[in-house]
Amino acid sequence: MKKFEITVFEENGSGDYKIAGIQVYGKGIEIINVVNITELLPEIIDEPEEYIPSRIEGDLVLNFLKHPDLAEYLVQVCNRLSIPVIASNRHIPGAICPFTCCGLGKKKGLGAYGEQFGLPEYEADVENGRIAAIRVLRGATCGATWQVIPRLIGLTVQEALTAIGRESQYLCMADPSAFDPVSGKSMLHYAGELHSAALRRALELENGASEH
């Protein structure tokens, strides 16, 4: 079966941590090209086509470019090529722009990436009131959804629900200074709340299954 192919655009390794997360935790996904722009960029780029190719391969583009002229031009190119593009924590018309990588909802056209990465989803087992096992169904590309699990095993349900938000924030690679103007929450707090809600849903489902 053909793997779901992704092309990444970044500046000075800005997407490296997410690339590593996809490679470690993703299945049926191949990152076929990483375009890493390392040179010092001018404040205004009049000819972004000097940095962004007109031909891009892949089923999805991940846009980690920081320069607004390049990030917006990349989206325009992807739109012309009918390739979906994700630009987390950006506001670019034509792109999918979740607040964080773990804030991506399920959308059509994102293939294996959309199935495995985005809003966290867990399955959990509880024995004698303590967390016995947690399995990831869907998680953050940074890997925090998976990496937090060992810190929760053996805790009581209430301890785990309290700990996961805090612990996932420690693991989150988001910029702590970035705030959502609507909610007033930072990206770190947002990621923590999403993981806490995911575990709460998993525990509610686990309790419901054990009652039947």
Query: Residue ranges of the domains in the chain?
Result: 4-97, 121-210
Measure the CA–CA gap between 195 and 148, rounded to whole angstroms.
10
Q: Return d(Cα 159, Cα 25) in angstroms, integer.
A: 26
Is 140 a residue whose pLDDT tops 90?
A: yes
151-169 core/surface letters (b: 16 or more CB in 10 A; e: else): bbeebebeebbebbbebbb
Residue range 172-191, pLDDT digits in tens: 877 666 666 555 668 888 99
Q: Which CATH architecture has domain 4-97?
A: 3-Layer(aba) Sandwich (3.40)
Element (H, E) at 110: none
pLDDT range class, residue 118, cuts 50, 70, 90: very high
Angle between helical axes of 157-171 and 187-210 (0-180°, round to 10): 150
- State the average pLDDT over residues 127-142: 97
pLDDT at 211 over 60: no
Give the separation between CA 144 and CA 178, rounded to whole angstroms.
18
Q: Sheet containing 60-64: give its strands across.
A: 29-37, 4-11, 60-64, 85-86
Q: How confident is the model at residue 212 (pLDDT cuts 50, 70, 90)?
A: very low
Residue 148: which H helix or E strand, with range? none
Residues 203 and 124 sit within 8 Å (Cβ to Cβ): yes
Q: Region 55-60: what's the mean pLDDT?
A: 97
Phi, psi of 3, rounded to the nearest 5 degrees: -75, 155
Pick the CATH number of 121-210 from 3.40.630, 1.10.3470, 3.90.1010, 3.30.420: 3.90.1010
pLDDT at 175: 64
pLDDT of residue 208: 62
Distances in whole angstroms, Cα of residue 104 to Cα of each of 19, 80, 84, 161, 191:
16, 23, 13, 22, 11
Please give the model's pTM, rounded to 2 decimal places. Answer: 0.91
Q: What is the mean pLDDT of residues 81-106?
A: 96
Q: d(Cα 101, Cα 139) in Å, to the nearest integer?
A: 9
The residue that leads in pLDDT, 40 or 182, is 40
CA distance 62 to 71: 10
Dig out the tokens for 27 from the structure: 């299945």
* CATH topology agreement for domains 4-97 and 121-210: no
Residue 60: pLDDT above 50?
A: yes
